Chain A
Amino acid sequence: TQLLEQSPQFLSIQEGENLTVYCNSSSVFSSLQWYRQEPGEGPVLLVTVVTGGEVKKLKRLTFQFGDARKDSSLHITAAQPGDTGLYLCAGAVFYGQNFVFGPGTRLSVLP
């Protein structure tokens, strides 16, 4: 069983649409990270959240950490083709512990 679940698994939308992807677990995390991986490349860290209820914004991307620190969401406003990629969440239960990666959401933004 996966420690982290991500939904949806696949998402295909038109340029300009908004979308939200989710990362859920039954475990409480000390910190959670989101990565984006473009085809043929390694993942790149987008954000780290550590406080329950925390909201962070990165241009058109809004990240939220659930109050109970068991889940997180990533909202993209006005998606662009350049947002296409695999979005991975990763969490650590204890501080300093190695992060566990979720299965990812594969996003395709069509022009």
Chain B
Amino acid sequence: GAVVSQHPSRVICKSGTSVKIECRSLDFQATTMFWYRQFPKQSLMLMATSNEGSKATYEQGVEKDKFLINHASLTLSTLTVTSAHPEDSSFYICSARDGVGGYTFGSGTRLTVV
């Protein structure tokens, strides 16, 4: 079946630094990928829709200059959290439509900003 690989699974960074998270579709092409944020014991919050070859579409309230999304190929989208602060600590998950109607999710990235 469709597989989405997300890397890294865990990252700890210092406040003020930037962190890049990668999301790869391993056996299918994904023209559209999605980035979510999830706080402890809460549901998924859609941050942005990543479109291959064009600008990402951000949800209301999500700072596009803080959460930079690049979707340069049909199998890779990246999310960069710039100038990270402790309040950016969260679980970030990507997903892609898998071509048979479902969403395949990555395994998530636990970001801790200290």
Kindly specify which of B60-68, B74-82, B106-114 makes contact with the partner chain.
B106-114
- A86 on interface, CB distance cutoff 8 Å: yes
- A111 on interface, CB distance cutoff 8 Å: no
Kindly specify which of A21-29, A65-73, A75-83, A100-108 makes contact with the partner chain.
A100-108
Q: Which residues of A contact B110 (CB under 8 A)?
A: 40
B45 to chain A: closest residue by CB:
A101
Tell me the complex Cα distance, A88–B46, Å. 14
Known: A42-B6, A45-B102, A98-B49. A104 touches B43 (CB 8 A): yes
Contact of A40 among B4, B34, B43, B108 (CB under 8 A): B108
Tell me the complex Cα distance, A41–B106, Å. 8
The answer to whether A44 touches B105, judged by C-beta atoms less than 8 angstroms apart, is: yes
Chain B residue total in the interface (Cβ 8 A): 22
The answer to whether A42 touches B41, judged by C-beta atoms less than 8 angstroms apart, is: no
A100 to chain B: closest residue by CB:
B46
Q: Which residues of B contact A31 (CB under 8 A)?
A: 101
Q: Which residues of A contact B4 (CB under 8 A)?
A: 42
Interface flags for B7-50 (1: CB within 8 Å of A; 0: not) read 00000000000000000000000001010000001111010010
Q: Is the interface of B mostly helix, strand, loop or mixed?
A: strand
B36 to chain A: closest residue by CB:
A101
- A48 on interface, CB distance cutoff 8 Å: yes
Tell me the complex Cα distance, A43–B107, Å. 8
Tell me the complex Cα distance, A44–B103, Å. 8
Q: How far is the CB of A100 from chain B (nearest CB, A)?
A: 8
Tell me the complex Cα distance, A98–B110, Å. 25
Q: Which residues of B contact A90 (CB under 8 A)?
A: 103
Known: A101-B46, A104-B43. A42 touches B105 (CB 8 A): yes
Q: How far is the CB of A14 from chain B (nearest CB, A)?
A: 21
Tell me the complex Cα distance, A20–B91, Å. 28
Across chains A and B, which 3 residue pairs bring their CB atoms closest together, nearest first? Answer: A42-B105, A104-B43, A45-B102
Q: 9 A-B contacts, Cβ less than 8 Å apart?
A: A31-B101, A33-B102, A33-B103, A42-B6, A42-B95, A42-B107, A45-B103, A48-B101, A88-B43
